[in-house]
Amino acid sequence: MWPTEPIPPGLPDAASPFKSKPTKTNSSDSHRFNVDDGTSSVSKLHAPVQLSHLASLGVEEIHKLLESDQDTGPTLGNVTLEVYPWKEFDDKKKVFDGPPTSLNICEHTGKNSKYDRLYFGPAYEMDENNWTKGFENSALYKHILQKGIDGRNPLISNGGGVDKRKIVCKGFYRKERKAVAAKKSDKSIVYRGVQAVNDRKLSRPAGKSMPRKSSNADTSSGSCKFMFYIKCDEIGPYINLERNAGCGDHNNHPLAISSECIPVPLKLVPEEVKKTAVNVVESAASHAAGRNFLLRDSQIFINKARMAYLAKLSDEEKNSDSKMGDFGRMIDQFEREEDISYTILSNVPLSDLKDLSKDAASELDGDGQNKNVTVATTKGDDGNITCKEVSSEDEIAHADNIAKEQRQERALDVTQILFMAIGFVYLPLLRFVKLCPEVIWCDITSHSNNKGFHLMTFSCRNSGLAKQSVFMWLWLPDQKRFSFRWVFQHALKMLLPLHVRLRVRFIMKDGDPQQRNEILRSLLSVFPNAIEGSCGWHIGMFIHSIFSLSNGLTHTLLLIVDRGWHSHIRACIAKAYRPHWNKIVKKIHTWIYSWMKPGFIEDPDEYEISKALLIRFICSDVVLRAARNNKALIIDILKFVRSHVFVYEQQYLFYLRKRVKHYAVAHGTQHEVSRVFILFDKGLFSS
């Protein structure tokens, strides 16, 4: 026979009402649970059910009782609280003069109560204006949760707006999801049989390889309407009963068999008990061991899921890194790594700086209106970390104004640090750019992370190994002019040695105008011996690259899209004639691309002849027939070539840079592929 107190081993999970089909335990169930119903009083109705008779029943019989869907009518709840009743027109100042009254608030909620408000005692005093912000961790909320469990009514706070909190029935207040309802209606699913004890192989032969029954609350017949509202005024928090507010009856589900069957929320468990349970889990390496220990030692029932969550919180508290944000952990990792050099742009409190400039010190000692300063923190290749105010650097001094605007927009506190941008290099990879720094590729993307930052990368190509190497990564807040200025006027100076920058001869970029403007500016001081070049694929070509990853799967990746062509040319060609039209388009693209490669155009005269021939080809009868006599389409192509290709000829013509050592680079495909492979490898980019 099982013991009679407090709960038979293994029964709490089975006796929990949060199963596939809960049952009801009210006065009509007395003949099934052998409960003496000699009186119809509310206190007798809500008395905890004695469980000793269940020891003679088998597991199947107990589950049949729990899963019965009979008698699911309204059931009066039981949440007994010590309150101070108040009626309309009474003096609020005298509400606490008398002793508190013990009331089951469910008898007054949603009914014609003689009271309008039920105030809590002075011990639960709250600020009238900001009481909702910390309500979930307040002593009042914990008190209500505990009283709800004592009355077999597990409760939870679910919204309510800015001026009130809505207390509802935990587990049954939500409607059943469509996916759950569809799964329950599927008659082809055979669920596992009920079996309380595993065999020696820790398996369950009665239901092996079959899906388990759902542990969610069954709300297929409707959600529970039980609820009441808590508000707060100048006197203190109270339960609102005006205009029959709330509902004191539970619907469409029973109450739990006993309050001891209800898992206790972790916020109600004392810290000493939590630490003891975690120690048991760590010593026994079992969450069930911690749950069983609490049940036996402290008479507190916590399910395995909450026990696992409690153990996880303990592990995170031991690891100080877990308290940091993503950027904090990243920076802390960079500080520990000897092979990483970085520079960070951030706005920090003045009190965090050791050496203040005269201007910053005067602001700190002045009226105190400006208590933050924008700084650039840099870790060099020697491991030394330096911090410098950006106001001392003319090129990026504007960052201070941007930081102030962002702080205002986000309503940040003066003690909070505003992260703006970061650039870092992996020092072992710098040897590649030191060997072959003549050509550098750069590009930026905005879809490689979920933090809203834009990733800019720099790469080089080893002439002997023919390998593309990404050596610098930068996270930027946007693609505006100042972000690129910080990259080319500060980050590159800090992370790339001067002797390497002097050897750079060619910088390949895409078509971003803001980026190009800052590159042109950097050619004066950062890369004085280099010239710029534009990616030819961005001007007049799109390609598909088919490659195989290490897992053997073949993926088709659209590397670069001809943005200009697809933005300005709208060819509505019938499907039957589209192959011939695609050949014409490919011919035009190949013609333009020939100007960027060696072996085709060697001087200005050849280029002028080639341009004239291209115009005549576009206006020829061959192209007109392929366009199905659509002269407007021919005019659009001519406008595109003259307005969006010829205007960039100084950036893509090979013969203009053939005397510069640039390895005949005409596009940024190598850099795009290298960057995308990195995103695949890190799991940041999905096919």
pLDDT surpassing 60 at residue 643 = yes
Between CA 105 and CA 137 the distance in angstroms is 22
User: How would you classify the pairing of strands 372-379 and 340-349?
Assistant: antiparallel
Higher per-residue pLDDT: 668 or 510: 510
Helix (H/G/I), strand (E/B), else coil: 155 = strand
Of 669 and 458, more confident: 458
pLDDT grade for 113, boundaries at 50, 70 and 90: confident
Give the Cα separation of 36 and 54 in Å (integer): 15
pLDDT at 134: 83
pLDDT tens-place string over residues 212-257? 555 667 777 788 889 999 999 999 999 999 988 999 998 888 787 7
For residue 45, the model assigns a pLDDT of 39
Confidence of residue 464 (pLDDT cuts 50, 70, 90): low
Question: How high is the pLDDT of residue 554?
Answer: 27
Of residues 357 and 491, more confidence is placed in: 491
44: which 2 tokens?
């007798």
Q: Quick one: pLDDT at residue 42?
A: 38
What is residue 490's DSSP assignment?
A: I
Q: What pLDDT, on the 0 to 100 scale, is given for residue 535?
A: 64
Neighbours of 68 (CB within 10 A): 16
pLDDT of residue 653: 80
Half-sphere exposure of 323 (CA within 13 A, CB side): 5
Question: Is the confidence at residue 37, as pLDDT, over 60?
Answer: no
| Residue 12 pLDDT grade (very low, low, confident, very high; cuts 50, 70, 90) | very low
551 or 304, which is more confident: 304
Task: Give the lowest-confidence range in 58-62, 396-400, 471-475, 568-572.
Answer: 58-62
Residue 18 has pLDDT above 80, yes or no: no
Say what the pLDDT of residue 315 is. 62
Mean pLDDT over 632-659 rounds to 81
Q: Which residues contact 420 (CB under 8 A, 6 or more apart)?
A: 345, 346, 347, 374, 399, 402, 403, 406, 477
Q: Is the peptide bond before 6 cis (omega within 30 degrees of 0)?
A: yes
Answer whether residue 80 shows pLDDT above 50: yes
pLDDT at 63: 60
Strand-pairing partners, residue 117, are 86, 240
Residues 495-526 pLDDT 10s: 999 999 998 888 887 766 777 778 778 888 88
Indicate the SS3 state at residue 246. Answer: coil
Range among 324-328, 444-448, 472-476, 642-646 rated most confident: 472-476
Ranges 299-303, 439-443, 532-536, 618-622: which has the least confidence: 532-536
Does residue 46 carry a pLDDT above 50? no
Site of tokens 């597990």: 154
For residue 538, the model assigns a pLDDT of 52
pLDDT over threshold 70, residue 665:
no
Least confident of 165-174, 275-284, 455-464: 275-284
Most confident range (mean pLDDT) of 94-103, 399-408, 569-578 is: 94-103
Decide: helix, strand or coil at residue 90.
coil
Among 487, 494, 535, residue whose Cα is nearest residue 514: 487
Residue 558: which pLDDT band, with cuts at 50, 70 and 90? Answer: very low
Q: Is 276 exposed, middle or buried (0-12, 13-18, 19+ CB in 10 A)?
A: middle
Residue pair 313/270 in contact (Cβ under 8 Å)? The answer is no
- The pLDDT assigned to 541 comes to 38
Mean pLDDT of 289-312: 75
Q: What are the sequence ranges of the domains in the chain?
A: 75-181+216-262, 266-318, 327-535, 539-667
Average pLDDT over the chain reads 74
Residues 530-535: what's their mean pLDDT?
A: 74
pLDDT-wise least confident of 216-220, 493-497, 596-600, 634-638: 216-220
State mean pLDDT over 412-434: 87
Rg (C-alpha) for the chain, rounded Å, is: 36
Higher pLDDT, 3 or 331: 331
φ/ψ of 462, rounded to 5, equals: -80, 120
pLDDT number for residue 261 = 78
Structure tokens at 597: 């490669």
123 vs 567, more confident: 123
Q: Which residues contact 229 (CB under 8 A, 6 or more apart)?
A: 160, 164, 165, 166, 167, 239, 240, 245, 246
What digits encode the pLDDT tens for the residues 151-206? 888 999 988 888 899 999 987 888 777 777 777 677 776 665 555 554 444 455 55
Mean pLDDT of all residues in 20-46: 38
Residues 338-367, mean pLDDT to the nearest whole number? 71
**Cα 526 from Cα 496, distance rounded (Å):** 10
**Candidate from 135-144, 294-303, 427-436, 581-590 with smallest mean pLDDT:** 294-303
The pLDDT of residue 560: 30
Q: What is the DSSP string of 494-557?
A: HHS-HHHHTT--EEEE-S-HHHHHHHHHHHHHTSTT-EEEE-THHHH---EEEEE-TTS-EEEE
- Name the least confident of 49-58, 111-120, 220-229, 383-392: 49-58
In this predicted structure, what is the pLDDT of residue 294?
76
More confident residue, 555 or 233: 233
Q: What percent of the chain has pLDDT over 70?
A: 69
One-letter-per-residue 3-state SS of 459-485: EEEECCCCEEEEEEEEEECCCCHHHHH
What is the reported pLDDT for 247? Answer: 92
pLDDT of residue 391: 82
